[in-house]
Amino acid sequence: MTEEKKKEKAGKPLDIKNATICEATAQMLRKAERDGVETAFHRAANMKACPIGADSACCKHCSMGPCRLNSKDPYGKVGVCGATIDTIQARNFARMVASGAAAHTDHGMSMLDLFREVVNGKIEDYKIKDPTKLQEVAKEIGIVTEGREIKDIALELYSELERTYTQVEGEIPFAKRVPAKTLETWRKQGVVPRGAMREIMELMHRTHMGVDQHYENITKQCSRTALADGWGGSMVATEISDILFGTPTPVKVEVDMGCLKEDHVNVIIHGHEPNLFESMIDSVNDPSLIQAAKDAGANGINLVGMCCSGAEMMSRHGVPHAGNFMSTEAVLITGAVDAMGVDVQCIKQGLAKVAECYNTRLFTTNPRCHIEGVEHIEFEEHSPRACTDAIVENAIVRFKNRKLPVEIPQFKTMGIHGFSHEYINYMLGGTFRSSYTPLNDNIINGRIRGVAGVVGCTNPRVKQDYVHVEMVKELIRNDVLVVQTGCSQVALAKAGLYTPEAAHLAGPGLAEVCETVGMPPVLGLGSCVDNSRILIACSEMVRTGGLGESLADLPVAGAAPEWMSEKAISIGHYFVASGVYTVFGVTFPIIEETKFHKHLFEGLEELGFGKWGFAKDPIEMAQLMIAHIDKKRKELGIDKARERVLMDMSDRRELDAA
Ligand code: SF4
Ligand code: MSK
């Protein structure tokens, strides 16, 4: 091959400086280039996103098309069937919601299946770890718990929660947790969800060729389906995982690739299902496997998480975390990963090629997720150790035969993770008067301006972690308390914001609260499924009083600054349908001048919901959220209190110098 051909094949060089602010990932990208290995960063640099697809201006729902409309002149033509740009965009958007909601609810239903088998004694490797939480959740949905055996309550809880998925009419069980005024809006608008299976099925039906062709009516079913995710599938997944594996409480954890150990057998679990990870914790602690690792010359077995199952396990058990979604290929370039086990969601097919280049043993484990060319060891809940032990055994063999040089980026940051909505309650109110009253009081008196949920993925179309980090810094600088999940939480953890000392980056009001309570200005709640914890925390704020009667009244806002997945769209829409202003970055898959866009960005708010927002710049995103928070403070009549705690210029200079 000529030099020219080689260059052409290699494509555009990657500008690593502008690809990521994660130093470990950047180091590995430089190594990848030396080693001739390609990652999603390289592919993104060489594959321009399709502009028509990015605007959702195309439809391939039938073979009269595919039809492409013109984003520059969206009303200039219609599809062969006559579908307008609004119908086409709304259908495409709806199918993203359906797919994202399906991913979360299928995951939640698997957790519920596991719970049933544990309660019935058919699975013995897992137990109910948090019976108190079981009783509390049961009580909240109207199950009598007084004087009853745990097993008895658990069986009734199972059959009630099963309705979250299968119920053909009526409201899902967790609708009981929704503040009354918000529920009233949902009822009025006809969006209280039935079972997720029904809602997703109906949404797919309605978006079939020749069915629902009014963007407002499609949006209605979008909202109902997204709510079946947030208040249904996802919420059940979180609650059942807490009941089975323990509710998180604050724990110190190290994050970043420096968690890998050259002299240990390194095993990574990546995906979303806690049961695989829980079993892996048992496997790596098994004395016979530890001995086998030592016999192979290792000093032990080092278990590390990635992506969302990693975020869940760092929150629940303090397992170190090696990085978020855009670092999953990069971590393999270290050569130090002996085995990676994956289950479902956000598993790049590109991992297979990178793993092959570094002789890392990559295993798929879930029947829903096989990858061509990757060995599959099925994870069987009735004998979970068979799978996780086999992964460890393979990792030990790979360790023994390591030939390639190992290069572990020496970056890691210690932080405090593991905040559940229950712990926030306890942390602020203390053991004897645990409640959200101190949080509400501090919002009312203006020390805390409002609360922002900053969540979601990383995406090679923007500089990895940069938008998350800069946006969160701007929010806390303006006294906005930030709660986080998923890959965003990991981005901020790497940037060092998960320590109480990070309070010096906060405005004076928030810093004072953080110092008094001893908490970081940024609270991590777990994986992307755990966004339901944010919904519950917001509902508690409404119930506690003083901040309005519905979720839409609260001085809160949400954001997914580097989103990439359909799950993120479902999450965004369930926050919007719940009443929260939600700002997305990267790109928004709708043309700005269309009626559907106006409906999502303005119309929904007029109906009593929240609304969508979009910006690319992190400071602009934060300012949009702050402006919304201030608007809500004004509506609540608490804007005056805040004026007394506004920063003066010397405060600002001190913060800028910090
Ligand atoms: Fe084209 Fe209509 Fe068929 Fe879509 S449903 S591909 S717009 S003809
Ligand atoms: S893993 S959905 S990249 S948060 Fe939940 Fe991260 Fe987004 Fe996947």
For a mutational test of ligand 2's pocket, the pick from 494, 562, 565, 566, i.e. the residue with the most ligand atoms closer than 8 A to its C-beta, is: 565
Task: Give me the long-range contacts of 303-306 (CB less than 8 A, separation at least 24).
Answer: 303/267, 303/268, 303/269, 304/259, 304/260, 304/266, 304/267, 304/268, 305/268, 305/269, 305/270, 305/277, 306/268, 306/269, 306/270, 306/331
For residue 650, pLDDT beyond 60: no
Q: What is the CATH number of the domain that holds 334?
A: 3.40.50.2030
Residue 60 in any domain: the answer is no
Q: Are residues 429 and 312 both part of a single domain?
A: no
Tell whether 53 is covered by a domain: no
Residue 405 lies in a domain: no
Question: Would 205 be classed as within a structural domain?
Answer: yes
- Indicate whether 476 and 622 sit together in one domain: yes
- Of the pLDDT bands very low, low, confident and very high (cuts 50, 70, 90), residue 423 is confident
Contact 104, 565 (CB under 8 A): no
Half-sphere exposure of 366 (CA within 13 A, CB side): 20
Q: 344 C-alpha vs ligand 1 centroid, how far in Å?
A: 32
Query: Measuring from atom 7 of ligand 1, which residue has the nearest CA?
Result: 79
Least distant ligand from the CA of 67: 1
Nearest ligand 2 atom to the CA of 457 is 7
Q: Which atom of ligand 2 is nearest to the CA of 563?
A: 7
Q: Which residues contact 539 (CB under 8 A, 6 or more apart)?
A: 177, 178, 179, 551
CA of 83 to the centre of ligand 1 (A): 7
Q: What is the pLDDT of residues 569-625, one digit of tens each?
A: 999 999 999 999 999 999 999 999 999 999 999 999 999 999 999 999 999 999 999
CA–CA separation, 214 vs 216, rounded Å?
6
pLDDT of residue 8 exceeding 80, the answer is no
Protein residue with least CA distance to atom 3, ligand 2: 457
Cβ of 310 closer than 6 Å to ligand 2, yes or no, is no
The pLDDT tens digits of the residues spanning 446-503 come to 999 999 999 999 999 999 999 999 999 999 999 999 999 999 999 999 999 999 899 9
C-alpha span between 32 and 16 (Å, rounded): 11
pLDDT at 192: 98
Pocket residue to mutate for ligand 2, from 99, 342, 345, 529, most atoms within 8 A of Cβ: 345
Predicted local distance difference test score (pLDDT) of residue 104: 97
CB 203 near ligand 2, within 6 Å: no
d(CA 582, CA 572): 6
CA distance 423 to 420: 5
What secondary structure does DSSP assign to 640-655, as a single string?
A: HHHHTT---HHHHHHH
Q: In sequence order, what are the beta bridge partners of 453? A: 483, 558
> Pairing relation of β-strands 522-524 and 337-342?
unpaired
Q: Which domain holds residue 156?
A: 85-245
Q: What length does the chain have?
A: 658
Q: Which CATH number characterizes residue 239's domain?
A: 1.20.1270.30
Q: Is residue 337 within 8 Å of 343, Cβ to Cβ?
A: no
- Note whether 464 and 323 are within 8 A (CB): no
Distance from the alpha carbon of residue 79 to the mean position of ligand 1, in angstroms: 5
Provide the pLDDT for residue 421: 83
Indicate if the pLDDT at residue 655 is higher than 60. Answer: no
The answer on 530 and 623 residing in a single domain is yes
Residues 390 and 432 both lie in one domain: no
Do both 475 and 595 map to the same domain? yes
490 Cα to the center of ligand 2, angstroms: 11
pLDDT, residue 433, reads 61
Query: Which tokens is 90 given?
Result: 């709304």
For ligand 2, say whether the CB of 457 is within 6 Å of any of its atoms: yes
Identify the weakest region by mean pLDDT among 360-369, 373-382, 417-426. Answer: 417-426
> Does residue 215 sit in the same domain as residue 304?
no
Spacing, Cα 88 to ligand 2 middle (Å): 27
* CA 7 to chain CA centroid, nearest Å: 38
Q: Quick check: CB of 234 below 6 Å from ligand 2?
A: no
Closest to 122 measured CA to CA, from 159, 150, 151: 151
Q: Closest ligand to 89 CA?
A: 1
Tell me, yes or no, whether 238 and 292 share the same domain: no
Cα 552 to Cα 178, 535, 537, distances in angstroms: 12, 12, 14
pLDDT tens, position by position, 321-350:
999 999 999 999 999 999 999 999 999 999
Supply the pLDDT for residue 561: 98
Calculate Rg over the CA atoms of the chain.
24
Tokens 């008094």 sit at which residue? 516
pLDDT value for 307: 95
pLDDT digits over 376-395, tens only? 999 999 999 999 999 999 99
How far is CA 27 from its chain centroid?
Answer: 26
Mean per-residue pLDDT for 133-145?
Answer: 96
**Cα of 132 from ligand 2 centre, angstroms:** 30
Interaxial angle between packed helices 215-228 and 85-119, expressed in degrees from 0 to 180 and rounded to the nearest 10: 20
How much is the pLDDT for 5?
A: 62
How many C-beta atoms lie closer than 10 Å to residue 373's C-beta? 11
Q: Which two tokens stand for residue 407?
A: 């290069």
Is the model more confident about 642 or about 485? 485
* Proximal ligand: closest to the CA of 321: 2
List pLDDT tens digits, range 61-86: 999 999 999 889 999 999 999 999 99
**How much is the pLDDT for 227?**
98
Q: Which atom of ligand 2 is nearest to the CA of 486?
A: 4
Atom 2 of ligand 1 has which residue's CA nearest to it?
Answer: 81
Structure tokens at 633: 């403070």
Check if the beta carbon of residue 417 is closer than 8 Å to that of residue 524: yes
- What ligand is nearest to the CA atom of residue 455? 2
Question: If pLDDT is split at 50, 70 and 90, which confidence band does 420 have?
Answer: confident
pLDDT at 649: 45
56, 61, 92, best to mutate for ligand 1 pocket (most atoms within 8 Å of CB): 61
Residue type, 468: H
Which ligand 2 atom sits closest to the C-alpha of 565?
2
Q: Which of 52, 58, 62, 212 to mutate to test the pocket of ligand 1 (most atoms within 8 A of CB)?
A: 62
Question: Among 326, 390, 405, which Cα is nearest to 359's?
Answer: 405
* pLDDT score at 243: 97
Residue after which a domain boundary falls, among 400, 430, 458? 400
Contacts of 59 (CB under 8 A, 6+ apart): 65, 66, 67, 79, 83, 88, 91, 92
Residue 227 Cβ < 6 Å to ligand 2: no
Instruction: Give CA–CA dist 438/425, Å, rounded.
Output: 9
- Count of domains for the chain: 3
At 203, the amino acid letter reads L
Whether residues 197 and 294 share a domain: the answer is no
User: Which ligand gives the minimal distance to the CA of 86?
Assistant: 1
Please give the full DSSP string across 546-577, using - where no structure is assigned.
SS-SSGGGSSEEEEETT--SHHHHHHHHHHHH
Residue 406 lies in a domain: no
Using the 3D structure, point to which of 229, 245, 261 is the last residue of a domain. Answer: 245
Does the C-beta of 567 come closer than 6 Å to ligand 2?
yes
Ligand 1 environment, Cβ below 6 A? 59-62, 64-67, 79-81, 83, 88, 209
For residue 422, the model assigns a pLDDT of 84
Which ligand is closest to the CA of 561, given by its number? Answer: 2
Is residue 361 pLDDT above 80, yes or no?
yes
The verdict on 236 and 256 lying in the same domain is: no
Distance (angstroms) between ligand 1 centre and the Cα of 158 equals: 42
CA dist 128 → 152, 236, 363 (Å): 13, 15, 28
| Residue 430, pLDDT score | 61
Angstrom distance (rounded) from CA 470 to CA 297: 43
Structure confidence at residue 432 as a pLDDT band (50, 70, 90): low
Mutate which of 229, 255, 308 for ligand 2? The one with the most ligand atoms within 8 Å of its CB, which is 308
Look at residue 188 and tell me whether its pLDDT is greater than 90: yes
Pairing relation of β-strands 450-454 and 612-614?
A: unpaired
> Percentage of residues in the chain with pLDDT exceeding 70?
95
For residue 307, the CA-to-ligand 2 centroid distance in Å is: 6
Statement to judge: residues 218 and 131 lie in one domain: yes
Q: DSSP string covering 200-215, please?
A: HHHHHHHTSTTS---H
Q: pLDDT by residue (tens digit) across 245-290?
A: 999 999 999 999 999 999 999 999 999 999 999 999 999 999 999 9
User: Which tokens in the block code for residue 275?
Assistant: 């049961």
| pLDDT at residue 159, rounded to an integer | 96
Amino acid 518: pLDDT: 85
- The residue among 223, 4, 5, 236 whose CA lies nearest residue 107 is 236
How many C-beta neighbours within 10 Å does residue 657 have? 6
The pair phi, psi for residue 512, each rounded to 5°, is -65, -45
Non-local CB neighbours of 338 within 8 Å, separated by 6+ positions: 265, 266, 267, 360, 361, 394, 395, 396, 398, 399, 402
Burial 32-62 (b: 16+ CB within 10 A, else e): bbeeebbbbbbebbeeeeeeeebbbbbbebe
Instruction: Please compute the mean of the pLDDT values over residues 361-386 and round it to a whole number.
Output: 97
Label the pairing between strands 251-255 and 413-417: antiparallel
| pLDDT reading at 644 higher than 80 | no
In a domain, 23, yes or no: no
Cα gap 265→296, rounded to integer Å? 9
Is 470 a domain residue? Answer: yes
pTM for this model (two decimals): 0.94
Distance 373 CA to ligand 1 centre (A): 36
239 has a pLDDT exceeding 80 = yes
Closest C-alpha to ligand 1, atom 3:
62
Residue 208 Cα to ligand 1 midpoint, Å, equals 10
Ligand lying closest to the C-alpha of residue 571: 2
Higher local confidence (pLDDT), 397 or 7: 397
pLDDT of 211 > 90? The answer is: yes
Residue 510: count of CB within 10 angstroms of its CB: 25
What band does 652 get if pLDDT is binned at 50, 70 and 90? very low
> What is the predicted pLDDT for the residue at 13?
84
Same domain, 307 and 204: no
Residue 428's alpha-carbon distances to 251, 278, 514, in angstroms, are: 17, 30, 10
- Measured from the Cα of 456, ligand 2's closest atom is 4
Clarify whether residues 568 and 518 are in a common domain.
yes
pLDDT of residue 654: 55
Q: Is residue 422 part of a domain?
A: yes
